[in-house]
Structure 1
Amino acid sequence: MGAVWRNHGTTIVLAALLLPVLSFAAYRWRCRSGSRRQAAAEVGLVAGSLPWAIMIFTPQKAPRSVDLVPLHDLPSWLSGTADTGIAQLGGNLLVLAAFGFFLPIRFAAMASLRRVLVAAVATSASVEALQWLLAIGRVSSIDDVLVNTLGAVLAATSSRRWWADEGRRIDQAASLNT
């Protein structure tokens, strides 16, 4: 955890201080032009994703690398120190958690676990590809994609009560139109 704090401490502190205030302001502004539910979901998507985006695109002093073998990096995350395991596994689970939690609430068309899964895979794979293309000293790994996606789907599952009925209505309307 020391490395996480050393590399991202400023981002963590700024997020903790600024995001609540900015989120409240954005929520109040968006409520004027839309529903409170959509405003809260939009703010949650941005506020919950922005700090992670900053962290995962912060350049590191290492050569870029790619690992396309599934479950190859995961054992090294867990066999190191507890701090490394928590930072790697926990961090990767949280990267797309806000995305998975709020996406189906904000966009009724995304109100299914399958759709969240597909969107999370596409988003995470895009992030890993960008990390490699930008040559910012990050490891682009299929394990990151798998764990980021798992985090998004688990978060979507935890928010399901707020979007499941809406998704069923969309699917029923689509089946009636065909």
Structure 2
Amino acid sequence: MDHDIPLLPPARRTLMIALGAMALLAVAAVAYAAQRPLTARGPRHRAGAHVLFGTVDGVVLLTAAALPLAALAVWVLAHRRLGTRSAWRDSLAEVAIVYGTLPWLWMTMLPDSAPQRVNLVPLHDLFAVLASGPATATVQVGGNLLVFAAFGFFAPLRFAALASVRRVLALAAAFSALIEIAQYVLRLGRVSSVDDVLLNAVGAALAALASRRWWHRRAGNNALEKPR
């Protein structure tokens, strides 16, 4: 059974979490928009920029290259919070949410050559992918499960308002729906499918369950430390 942790304070903390997640989506959209001027300087610049910013392999390469910067960000944030018991944990969680989510958001915004379509029938696309073979199914299903996995794993550790599998599931589903809408509005040549929303949300929920022993224990410790 999933026991919700009281929101402290409810309005401001939930609003900040929502705004932060919206900022991630905004950064992904800006990154997509930035591809055009970067690829408009000539054939060589266009080819190089496209490989880095317009392909999955390029995004993976940039993500790997940014790992030292992510580690440095954790160190800087933790040292600014020295003296607090959760300085390193909170800093790691914040950076991991961004570092583990932004590349996936970027990849979801990469243009494709598939016919633009919308599917609102649950499980229709999922069954089609599963029938296409193990390799394709592993890549497609696994990729969708990982889009918000970092968010689902680390957000409950950082934010008491999200120390609930149901809240993580609901928030991941809402942001996934925004991604599918953005793909359609921007005409990226991708399939905007309800199954993507389901898989993204389930992936976040499974990740939250994987870290539950830590954030559930933290919530219990915080409750014991409250003054009576």
Counterpart in 1 of 2:155? 103
Q: 1: distance between equivalents of 2:220 and 2:116?
A: 43
Residue 151 (structure 1) shift: 0.5
Q: Give the letter for the 2:56 counterpart.
A: H
> Does residue 132 of the first structure (1) align with residue 180 of the second (2)?
no
Residue 69 (structure 1) shift: 0.4
Q: TM-score, normalised by structure 1?
A: 0.86
Q: 2: distance between equivalents of 1:158 and 1:10?
A: 29
Greater Rg over alpha carbons, structure = 2
Give the percent of matched residue pairs that are identical in Structure 1 and Structure 2.
Answer: 47
Q: 2: distance between equivalents of 1:120 and 1:171?
A: 27
Runs ≥4 residues deviating over 6 A: 169-173
Q: 1: distance between equivalents of 2:139 and 2:57?
A: 13
Q: 1:9-158 maps to which residues of 2 (within 5 A)?
A: 9-16=57-64, 18-34=65-81, 35-158=87-210
Q: 2: distance between equivalents of 1:166 and 1:108?
A: 9
Structure 1: state its 5+ residue gaps.
1-5, 174-178
Residues 101 and 74 of structure 1: is their aligned pair in 2 closer, same or farther, counting only changes over 3 Å? Answer: same
Residues 135 and 21 of structure 1: is their aligned pair in 2 closer, same or farther, counting only changes over 3 Å? Answer: same
Residues 57 and 85 of structure 1: is their aligned pair in 2 closer, same or farther, counting only changes over 3 Å? Answer: same
| Aligned 8 A contact 1:67 1:139 in 2 | yes
Aligned CA RMSD, in angstroms, stands at 2.0
| Aligned 8 A contact 2:60 2:103 in 1 | yes
Q: 1: distance between equivalents of 2:55 and 2:192?
A: 18
Residues 14 and 32 of structure 1: is their aligned pair in 2 closer, same or farther, counting only changes over 3 Å? Answer: same
Residue-pair matches, total: 167
